[in-house]
Every structure is written in structure tokens, then in C-alpha cells.
């Protein structure tokens, strides 16, 4: 790992411990009870987190962009800094820019043929369940985070990490300390009806701990 990236990781860890973002008073968000449930997986990729849903659970009329890669067993979505997130080898400026200011964002969307625990390792994955209505709200959350051109079309900005994946210009502004991929993941899960606290998920570890605590309280666990 490049020396500057090691120092940046240290800086981010120190900053995250003392700058978790503004305190926000959130209304209660109890989990929906009753009815069929759908799986959602939280995946940790180093200091980022993403979400995975089954392709068969997605209503394409709610999230039409889910069809960009054809039929998919699973779909993974993550949100991050527009320059750092897609870069195969991020520059020093790519890394430091979102620490010192809010920057444009990118979505990474990928089609997966294998379940997330098998593909990424069970230690990096937490499985949650939501109602069918919650799943619809979640994929609508994905849909509204695509930035669009003058004709209303999503704006692709590069190839993704997997054979069937891409980066898209995203809505929102990324900041490494106050609103990063982990805050976004928590916000998405909250939209699905899960009692996450986005203000307390500044790191991937914090997001995964919240997900594990919610999973432990869900029926059948």
C-alpha cells in the first residue's frame, strides 16, 4: 500500500473519531412486521459498504436501471466519491479531496451470479430482511440516486469492478467524514424500514455493527 494512503487512512480514522457529522434527531423507524420478507445483504469492502438484493425481488418498473446488465441473480449497489471510487489507482488528490470538501458522487452497480456470502466471504457480509414494501422503497432509493442527462438518462462514467457492472454519476455530495458510503448505506436501509442511525455510521465497522445488531433482533434469528 502506498505510503500516502497509509497516512490518509490514519487521518481518516482520527477524523472519524472526532467528527461524526452533525447530530440529527431522527424519528423512530421500527421494522415493518408481518407479511413476506426479502433478503438484503450489507457487504464490507475495506472502508466502504454496499448493499445487495436478489434480482428476482426487484420490480423493474421501480428501478429500470436494474436491467442494464441483463438478468442478474443478485445486484450490488454502492455510493462513493466520483473520482476516488472508480479509480483503479487513486491519486493523492483523489484521496484527499473528499476529506477537505464535499465532492460529486458516483454509484457502482453490478450484476452478480453468486450470493454475497459465497462471493465475498461470510465475515464481510450481514444478511437482513425487509418487507416487500421495504424492498420497493430500497430500490426506489437506488433509482433516485442516479444523476441524469438532459434526456433523463443515467450518466455512465466508467466500467465497474465486475464483468457486468458500471459506475454512474450520482446524486448527492460525498464527504469522507460527514457523509460517506457508510452513511449512505445506513440511509438506504432506513428508507427500507430498518432502524439504522445514519449519523452513527461514519466507518464501515460502525455500519456493520449496526447491521449485525439489527439482524440479531429480527424474527427467526
pLDDT in tens, 121-176: 999 999 999 999 999 999 999 999 999 999 999 999 999 999 999 999 999 999 99
How many C-beta atoms surround the C-beta of residue 165 within 10 A? Answer: 18
Specify the residue for cell string 447491521.
211
Q: Which of 31, 50, 24 is nearest to 197 (CA)?
A: 24
pLDDT score recorded for residue 76 = 98
Q: Where are the alpha helices (DSSP H) in 33-173?
A: 92-100, 116-120, 132-144
Between the alpha carbon of residue 80 and those of residues 33, 53, 97, 165, 189, the distances in Å are 32, 19, 13, 15, 16
b/e for 104-120, b at 16 or more Cβ within 10 A? bbbbbbbbbeebbbebb
Distance CA 151, CA 39 (A): 34
All cell numbers assigned to 27: 424519528
CB 217 within 8 A of CB 56: no
Question: Exposed, middle or buried by CB within 10 Å (0-12, 13-18, 19+), for 52?
Answer: buried
Give the rounded distance of the alpha carbon of 85 from its chain centre.
12
Alpha-carbon span 200 to 20, nearest angstrom: 7
Which band of pLDDT confidence, cut at 50, 70 and 90, is reported for residue 30? Answer: low
Question: Of the given ranges (26-35, 102-111, 157-166), which has the lowest mean pLDDT?
Answer: 26-35
pTM of the model: 0.85
Amino acid at each position: 500500500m502506498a505510503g500516502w494512503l497509509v497516512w490518509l487512512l490514519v487521518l481518516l480514522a482520527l477524523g472519524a473519531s472526532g467528527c461524526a457529522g452533525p447530530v440529527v434527531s431522527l424519528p423512530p423507524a421500527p421494522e415493518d412486521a408481518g407479511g413476506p420478507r426479502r433478503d438484503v445483504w450489507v457487504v464490507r469492502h475495506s472502508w466502504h459498504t454496499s448493499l445487495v438484493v436478489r434480482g428476482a425481488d426487484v420490480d423493474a418498473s421501480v428501478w429500470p436501471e436494474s436491467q442494464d446488465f441483463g438478468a442478474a441473480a443478485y445486484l450490488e449497489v454502492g455510493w462513493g466519491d466520483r473520482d476516488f471510487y472508480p479509480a483503479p489507482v487513486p491519486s493523492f488528490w483523489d484521496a484527499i479531496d473528499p476529506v477537505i470538501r464535499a465532492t460529486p458522487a458516483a454509484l457502482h452497480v453490478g450484476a452478480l451470479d453468486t450470493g454475497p456470502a459465497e462471493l465475498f466471504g461470510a465475515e464481510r457480509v450481514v444478511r437482513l430482511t425487509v418487507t416487500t414494501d421495504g424492498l420497493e422503497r430500497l430500490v426506489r432509493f437506488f433509482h433516485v440516486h442516479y444523476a441524469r442527462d438532459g434526456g433523463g438518462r443515467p450518466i455512465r462514467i466508467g466500467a465497474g469492478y465486475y464483468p457486468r457492472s458500471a459506475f454512474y454519476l450520482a446524486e448527492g455530495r460525498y464527504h469522507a467524514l460527514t457523509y460517506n458510503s457508510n452513511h449512505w448505506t445506513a440511509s438506504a436501509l432506513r428508507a427500507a424500514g430498518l432502524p439504522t442511525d445514519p449519523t452513527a455510521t461514519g466507518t464501515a465497522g460502525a455500519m456493520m455493527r449496526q447491521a449485525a445488531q439489527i439482524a440479531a433482533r429480527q424474527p427467526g434469528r
